Amino acid sequence: MNWFVGLLLLIVALAIVATGAFLLIGREQTWQMVAGDPDLGPFDLAAPQRAGRPNDALLCSPGLCDGVKTDGELPVYAMTPEALIAALGTAIETQPERKERVDDGADPRALRYVTWTDTMRFPDTNQFLAVDLGDGTSGLVAYARAQVGYSDAGNNRARLTRWTGAIE
């Protein structure tokens, strides 16, 4: 029975130390120390492959993600890819999430942001690619993936849907 009490005390002590570190160091910094850079880097949106876990989301305009399971369909937009990304960037910046644009802006047809959840500050990488469909229209591929955890409870899909739905 003494070993059980000792084990229980050790677990409680570790939990207290972990909570203290989480609060003193900060949530974002703690996750960065544990899991690395919150920006998971570029993802090949021209040939998307899903993570295989329920912590990512993929939305695509028709014909852009054939052969890959998507979480929803985006419309075809009556604008150039560059105008679509500019409009999406404006829409994203008006959203309330804690976010940071992490791509270098070199490709005017693409965007990449890192977002953090409110309470635990779990980081997610969100990436967008606008594709010229001809006749002055564009399609969009939107992909978000969680850095930490097996499931994101649908947060990535909800964010992508909200952000792309705010395009004017």
User: What are the tens digits of pLDDT across the range 62-121?
Assistant: 999 999 999 999 999 999 999 999 999 999 999 998 999 999 999 999 999 999 887 767
- Burial pattern 130-145, b for ≥16 Cβ within 10 A else e, equals bbebeeebbbbbbbbb
Indicate whether 61 and 87 sit together in one domain.
yes
Q: What pLDDT was estimated at residue 166?
A: 95
CA distance 78 to 42: 26
- What pTM value is reported for the model? 0.80
- Supply the pLDDT for residue 38: 60
Residues 42 and 26 reside in one and the same domain: no
The CA dihedral of 13, 19, 22, 25, to the nearest 10 degrees, is -60
Same domain, 26 and 109: no
- Condensed to tens digits (0 to 9), the pLDDT of residues 129-160 reads 999 999 999 999 999 998 767 778 889 999 99
| Model pLDDT for residues 99-116, shown as the tens digit of each residue | 999 999 999 999 999 998
Both 5 and 87 in a single domain?
Answer: no
pLDDT at residue number 84: 98
Residue 58 sits in the same domain as residue 76: yes
Same domain, 29 and 49: no
How many domains does one find in the chain?
2
- The answer to whether residues 142 and 115 belong to one domain is yes
Q: Which has the closest alpha carbon to 160: 121, 112, 119, 122?
A: 112
Domain that holds residue 30: 1-36
